Amino acid sequence: MPDRIDYNILVRMLHAAVQQVRDNHQNLSRLDSFGGDGDHGTTMLRAMELLSKTIDSSPKQLPQLLHDIGWAIMGVDGGAAGPLFGTFFMSMSEAAAGKDSLDIPTLATVFDSALAGVQKRTKAQVGDKTMIDALVPAVRALRDAPDLATALQNAAAAAQSGADSTKNFKARFGRAKNAGDKSIGSPDPGATSVALIFRGFYQGFHSHG
Amino acid sequence: MPDRIDYNILVRMLHAAVQQVRDNHQNLSRLDSFGGDGDHGTTMLRAMELLSKTIDSSPKQLPQLLHDIGWAIMGVDGGAAGPLFGTFFMSMSEAAAGKDSLDIPTLATVFDSALAGVQKRTKAQVGDKTMIDALVPAVRALRDAPDLATALQNAAAAAQSGADSTKNFKARFGRAKNAGDKSIGSPDPGATSVALIFRGFYQGFHSHG
Amino acid sequence: MKKFLNKPVNLVAELLEGFVLANADKLKLAGTNLVVRTNPKSKNKVALVTLGGSGHEPALSGFVGYGMLDISVPGEIFAAPGPPRVIEALRLANRPAGVLFVVLNHAGDVMTANIVMEMAKKEGLNVKQILTHEDISTGPRDNPDERRGLVGALPVIKVAGAAAEQRRSLDDCLAIATRMEANSATLAVAVSGATHPCTGEPIATFADDEMVVGMGQHGEAGTGSQKLASADKTAEIMLPMLLDDLKIKPGEQVLALLNGVGSTTLMELYLVLRRINQLLAEKKISLARSLVGQFLTVQEMGGFQMFIARMDPELLRLWDAPCNTPALTK
Amino acid sequence: MKKFLNKPVNLVAELLEGFVLANADKLKLAGTNLVVRTNPKSKNKVALVTLGGSGHEPALSGFVGYGMLDISVPGEIFAAPGPPRVIEALRLANRPAGVLFVVLNHAGDVMTANIVMEMAKKEGLNVKQILTHEDISTGPRDNPDERRGLVGALPVIKVAGAAAEQRRSLDDCLAIATRMEANSATLAVAVSGATHPCTGEPIATFADDEMVVGMGQHGEAGTGSQKLASADKTAEIMLPMLLDDLKIKPGEQVLALLNGVGSTTLMELYLVLRRINQLLAEKKISLARSLVGQFLTVQEMGGFQMFIARMDPELLRLWDAPCNTPALTK
Ligand SMILES: Nc1ncnc2c1ncn2[C@@H]1O[C@H](COP(=O)(O)OP(=O)(O)O)[C@@H](O)[C@H]1O
Ligand SMILES: Nc1ncnc2c1ncn2[C@@H]1O[C@H](COP(=O)(O)OP(=O)(O)O)[C@@H](O)[C@H]1O
Ligand SMILES: [Mg+2]
Ligand SMILES: [Mg+2]
Ligand SMILES: [Mg+2]
Ligand SMILES: [Mg+2]
């Protein structure tokens, strides 16, 4: 396994994340239909297709790619998810400024920045049944891993269990907060998207032969 | 039985007609609901209540009363029935001009005038499933009767069988014409109203003791 | 449909009270519930008067105001007013310049109008009548008696009203209204019914995936029951029927009016207008003007009326002239 | 509900095409589907920009035109536009006189607005933001973050837009908008749901005789599920809650706005306005102005928003000032 994520590896990771959302977007919309407005899968699919297109159109340079992806996703016009996931990638780019590859401490810093960026946009805390519930543990899991593969594997697992944990919560942010108890029993769609993306990151990294 | 209809007898006849519609207005609306818009009973009830009020407010003079009743019914704002029944009474009044009572030939003339007035307002012919189907035979029956009681009894019977005959017709006038075959099987509401009114005329005349 | 209503017998009186309250700068009630302008038009100008059932708000009283109507006589729900209030309106409007009396072709309205026109003649009122009947679904062009008057009354009132404000004579106003009317065609499509606000009875029923082309304002059955189509397809079905009826040729200019009748959204109507524009362009017909809105409604019914008219330079100028009414302001 | 639609992914682009076609005298598209005035306002006047989801036609793009907005940034159906198109709009509107940026309090809109305001600051654009949040059902007056922005955006845009046309400074326009906003209160009631035009999914469901006071624009549950009431009774339930929230006292002047959200008819809204007028008279509060229409809709949803605002002479003057937009013309 490589000990740095360079442009090419990042692209593989991103493509794998795109594929995860492609495969699961219907489930994401279904989850959003319990408390929200049922469009999260559509929005995420559009965001990921834009991501994929941006890889083709953007200069082949790591921070620039992350920036362009973030900006493209911001423009998805799909409600809360666009600005939040857009901010995620744009904040990654800020922390990756000047770097053409990421070693493990840099990767942790980059994801810390992504989390901080998202948190600047929302007052949602862990437990409020949002993407924050998957993002916080995923980013935390990245910090103390011995190598990149373990870091990304742990992050994916933490994101997944963070997403799973939202099943029992009552939504306190986003559209779903107005739905009362309707969302209890199913995981938050945004948190589920975060888990899919981190799973993709790990798979994309791992498949690197 | 009297051989002239004076103001007082006319008032009794009118009151009895009002009562017939009061007792049957729900059925009239029901009949209108098959092909029309279901309001004929309501409209006729409003027309007849106005008739009844007009008797109280109008000068106690036969042609004037018929005129005022016609004008009041014209103002009922209920679609086709108001102008048609209003014309009916106003045209009676025209033929009764200058008379304070009606003998049998005059009565025939007065109802001929009523029918002619209505026919001026509509191109509907016998067989088109409208009030014309009851009105034409009723007025015809009045013409050759030996006395007023027989005249009014025959007219009531003829109106009723005219109304009954409409059961098998397909509406070609009024709202019901747009309903296709929906009105086949039930009598025309307007024709049924005519039958009720003529029944009332006869009863009111007859009850005069 | 669940409606916010009070007692049915008071419905029209109460709705008129709220209506003039909401438009107090433009309208008030006069006489026996006649809707008149707050600031009456100069007596030197031709007056426009119309009549029609209620329950189609904002029509027809919503067209009272500068540049359009002077008086509207609202009837009961879906029912023409009787002659007494209509002759009252014509007496009120009567003036040397004359009165143009706009009647939509529906049996009750026409019956009332005929009675009233006879009275007006006897009384020596200076009134001329124009009958609107542009619904192509109920009869061929050469049998206009059978054609109902739908939203096409709006353009007729608009251009004749503009002519009146420009002090054109009664004969001119009538000629303009007649020309507008003769060059108009409307076709309706319905996809869901409504309930009568007084009786609670359904007006028309539909199969789950049914749309009915040609359905009338009160749920009168149309001939064109078919499967619900897309916005584009619906435009492709309906527009050619209208162009055909009017025999519109390449190079001509048309006005398109899309009138939502209730729960069909403006969003949907914009899609239809977009396709109309494309289809006209293909045929080299120019979409000179368009108007999209809910002008003549049928409660919460789903569907719309597509109106097309051949326009000439004068009609276009009159169409563009200023007006200030609750339902249309230019 | 059966709708006339084409492909969902093209819905917003297509509806905008039809929308600007129908209002070509007032509007056009610029940049990335930004709705702008056909005749731009002088650069010496403050510009007004807003953003918001589509599917609520005629809102918000229907308020673009003389006396109201300069640019509207329409998002996808029921979804805020993302920052890129909004910053594009602010750059386009930017001018020495400044830009007033009107944001309705909905999570997505606010998130976009916050990002964009940070960018605008960095870029040195002369922009100030006003947030509208007058829905009294979602939070107490002292917790304005929880209050959604409903039809109250219309009067805010109207008075601030009028001030801008009168060459008032950006600070003045902001102060006027803020005063209008602070004196506004809205309460919604819903009786029947709608379907999402892209997914076909129902937005909110109701029991047969249920009405829900406080239901939001996207079917967000309200607190006040109760039995469907008459027009009079509904006014009697809702109006006091608004007057209470605003602490309106006898002798004060109010503006009442009734916004039908879809299949509730103007007819019904007129009944409600009539009762509001009576109730206000009883309390010696003056109904200075009123407006009834369908301005901010939620597809074919049944129900309406009742808006009340305390007015002062300057706000009334600005409310009465001329405007010329698809949805409101004075
Ligand atoms: N204020 C918020 N803070 C954090 N996450 C949020 C917020 N609002 C929404 N989300 C996330 O976005 C998801 C919904 O996204 P999406 O359905 O695409 O947007 P919308 O709710 O505008 O339709 C939620 O499941 C949640 O995870
Ligand atoms: N054109 C017409 N000629 C003759 N009678 C008519 C005509 N139109 C309607 N009617 C009569 O009126 C009746 C319907 O009256 P009503 O329901 O009160 O009016 P509307 O049809 O306007 O609702 C019909 O049953 C028919 O007898
Ligand atoms: Mg959603
Ligand atoms: Mg959404
Ligand atoms: Mg009827
Ligand atoms: Mg009727």
Percent helix / strand / coil, chain B, rounded to 5: 75, 0, 25
Task: Return the residue of A nearest to D88 by Cα.
Answer: A75
For residues D271 and C18, the answer to whether their CB atoms sit within 8 Å is yes
**CA-based angle D28:D31:D35, to the nearest 5?**
35
User: What mean pLDDT is predicted for residues C230-249?
Assistant: 98
Between chains, do C83 and B38 touch, taking CB under 8 Å as contact? no
Between chains, do A78 and D114 touch, taking CB under 8 Å as contact? no
Burial class (CB in 10 A: 0-12, 13-18, 19+), C301: buried
Ligand closest to Cα of A73 equals 1
Which pTM does this prediction carry? 0.94
What lies within 8 Å, CB to CB, of C277 at 6+ separation is C256, C287, C290, D18, D21
User: What mean pLDDT is predicted for residues C88-92?
Assistant: 98
pLDDT at D222 (0 to 100): 67
The DSSP bridge partners found for residue D72 are D35, D50
Given A79, A84, A121, which is nearest D79 (Cβ)? A79
Task: Return the residue of C nearest to B82 by Cα.
Answer: C82
pLDDT at B178 (0 to 100): 65
Task: Return the residue of D nearest to C54 by Cα.
Answer: D267
- Segment 132-171 of chain B within 8 Å of chain C by CB: none
The DSSP bridge partners found for residue C132 are C104
Say whether D180 sits in a helix, a strand or coil. Answer: helix
Convert the pLDDT of each residue in A89-144 to its tens digit: 999 999 999 999 999 999 999 999 999 999 999 999 999 999 999 999 999 999 88
For chain D, say whether C16 makes contact (Cβ under 8 Å): yes
For chain D, say whether A26 makes contact (Cβ under 8 Å): no
Give the mutation target among A27, A128, A130, A178 for probing the ligand 1 site: most ligand atoms within 8 A of CB. A130
Determine the Cα–Cα distance for residues D30 and D37; give it in Å rounded to an integer.
Answer: 9
CA of B40 to the centre of ligand 5 (A): 5
Mean pLDDT, chain C, rounded, equals: 96
pLDDT at C308 (0 to 100): 98
Helices (H), B76-103: 81-95
Please report where in the chains the tokens 């061929």 appear, as a residue: C140
What ipTM was reported for this prediction? 0.93
Given C81, C107, C199, which is nearest B174 (Cβ)? C107
Query: D8-182 maps to which CATH number?
Result: 3.40.50.10440
Q: Is the domain defined by B5-208 classed in CATH 3.30.110.30? A: no
Convert the pLDDT of each residue in C12-33 to its tens digit: 999 999 999 999 999 999 999 9
- Segment 217-256 of chain D within 8 Å of chain C by CB: 228-232, 234
Point out the ligand 2 atom lying closest to the alpha carbon of residue B32: 17
Query: Nearest to residue D108, comparing CAs of D147, D75, D142, D141?
Result: D75
Contacts 24+ apart (CB under 8 A), A47-50: A47/A21, A47/A72, A47/A73, A47/A76, A47/A78, A47/A81, A47/A82, A47/A85, A47/A86, A48/A17, A48/A18, A48/A21, A48/A22, A49/A18, A50/A75, A50/A76
Return the number of other C-beta atoms located less than 10 Å from residue D129's C-beta.
18
Given B73, B80, B179, which is nearest C107 (Cβ)? B80
B107 CB within 6 A, ligand 2: no
For chain D, say whether A180 makes contact (Cβ under 8 Å): yes
Q: Which of C7, C220, C223, C301 to mutate to test the interface with B (most CBs of B within 10 A)?
A: C220
Between chains, do D107 and A175 touch, taking CB under 8 Å as contact? yes
Given D2, D209, D230, which is nearest C302 (Cβ)? D2
Outline which parts of chain C fall under CATH 3.40.50.10440.
8-182
For residues B194 and C236, the answer to whether their CB atoms sit within 8 Å is no
Which residues on chain C are in Cβ contact (under 8 Å) with B38? 196, 199, 201
Q: Which residues of chain D have pLDDT under 70?
A: 217-223
Convert the pLDDT of each residue in B92-143 to its tens digit: 999 999 999 999 999 999 999 999 999 999 999 999 999 999 999 999 999 8
Point out the ligand 2 atom lying closest to the alpha carbon of residue B124: 3
pLDDT at C171 (0 to 100): 98
pLDDT at B171 (0 to 100): 81
Q: Which pLDDT band holds residue A180 (cuts at 50, 70, 90)?
A: low
CA of C195 to the centre of ligand 6 (A): 14
Task: Indicate if the pLDDT at residue A2 is higher than 90.
Answer: no
For chain C, say whether B39 makes contact (Cβ under 8 Å): yes
The DSSP bridge partners found for residue C37 are C27
pLDDT at C221 (0 to 100): 65
For chain D, say whether A172 makes contact (Cβ under 8 Å): no
> How far are the Cα atoms of B42, B116, C79, D228 from residue C198, in angstroms, in the given order?
10, 34, 12, 16
Task: Indicate if the pLDDT at residue B208 is higher than 60.
Answer: no
pLDDT at D235 (0 to 100): 98
Task: Indicate if the pLDDT at residue C242 is higher than 70.
Answer: yes
β-pairing verdict for C71-77 and C34-37: antiparallel
Q: Which pLDDT band holds residue B82 (cuts at 50, 70, 90)?
A: very high
Return the number of other C-beta atoms located less than 10 Å from residue D205's C-beta.
9
> How far are the Cα atoms of A62, A129, C8, C215 from residue C77, in angstroms, in the given order?
69, 51, 10, 18
- What DSSP string describes C19-57? HHHHTTTTEEEETTTEEEESSPPPTTS-EEEEEEEESST
Topology annotation, domain D184-313: Hypothetical Protein Tm841; Chain: A;domain 3 (3.30.1180)
Between chains, do C267 and D57 touch, taking CB under 8 Å as contact? yes
Task: Indicate if the pLDDT at residue A209 is higher than 60.
Answer: no
For residues C34 and C72, the answer to whether their CB atoms sit within 8 Å is yes
Convert the pLDDT of each residue in D233-266 to its tens digit: 999 999 999 999 999 999 999 999 999 999 999 9
Please report where in the chains the tokens 């899609």 appear, as a residue: C271
For residues C296 and C257, the answer to whether their CB atoms sit within 8 Å is no
Min CA distance, C54 vs chain D (Å)?
A: 9
Q: Which residues surround ligand 4, an ion (CB under 5 A)?
A: A 37, 39, 79; D 79
Between chains, do C273 and D21 touch, taking CB under 8 Å as contact? yes
Which residues on chain D are in Cβ contact (under 8 Å) with C329? 329-330
